[in-house]
């Protein structure tokens, strides 16, 4: 039955949710904050900023990489992580557009 016909989420909503989800953990926000503001960005430096085990840090980094927000590059014996500028700006634009929606509007409740 066509209970849910024609009600798929839009690509944009899916993409924004994906970015938001990646940002939905304080460790990952801390990582992004760190990478966005500093030039030093080796795994060890990141691990040092966080109250969690390196295995867990590695997992969070993987999620951020999967979401496209960061990228990693091997510099034996270290790994250098950085903001993925292109997708960072894409995410920024998504959030900006999203919040702008509400601008200059009198909501039904407040």
Partner DNA sequence: TTTGTAGTTCGCAAAACTACGAACAATAAA
Partner DNA sequence: TTTATTGTTCGTAGTTTTGCGAACTACAAA
- What is the pattern of x (binds a second copy, CB under 8 A) and - over residues 43-82? ------xxxx------------------x-x------x-x
As measured in angstroms, the least distance from the Cβ of 53 to a second copy is 9
85 binds a second copy (CB under 8 A): yes
Q: What is the 3-state secondary structure (H, E, C) of 42-110?
A: EHHHHHHHCCCCHHHHHHHHHHHHHCCCEEEEEECCEEEEEECHHHHHHHHHHHHHHHHCCCCCCCCCC
Chain residues 7-66 in contact with DNA, contact rule CB under 7 A: 21, 24-25, 27, 42-44, 47, 52-63
Q: Where in 77-96 is the site for DNA (CB under 7 A)?
A: 77-79
Distance of CA 25 to the CA centre of its chain: 9
């Amino acid at each position: 039955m066509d209970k849910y016909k024609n009600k798929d989420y839009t690509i944009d909503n899916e993409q924004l949710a994906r970015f938001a989800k990646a940002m939905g953990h304080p460790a990952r926000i801390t990582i992004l904050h760190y990478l966005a503001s500093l030039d030093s960005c080796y795994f060890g430096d990141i691990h040092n900023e966080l109250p969690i085990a390196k295995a867990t840090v590695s997992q969070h980094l993987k999620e951020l990489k999967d979401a496209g927000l960061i990228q990693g590059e091997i510099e034996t014996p270290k790994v250098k992580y950085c903001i993925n500028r292109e997708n960072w700006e894409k995410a920024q634009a998504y959030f900006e557009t999203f919040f702008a929606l509400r601008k200059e509007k009198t909501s039904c409740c407040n």
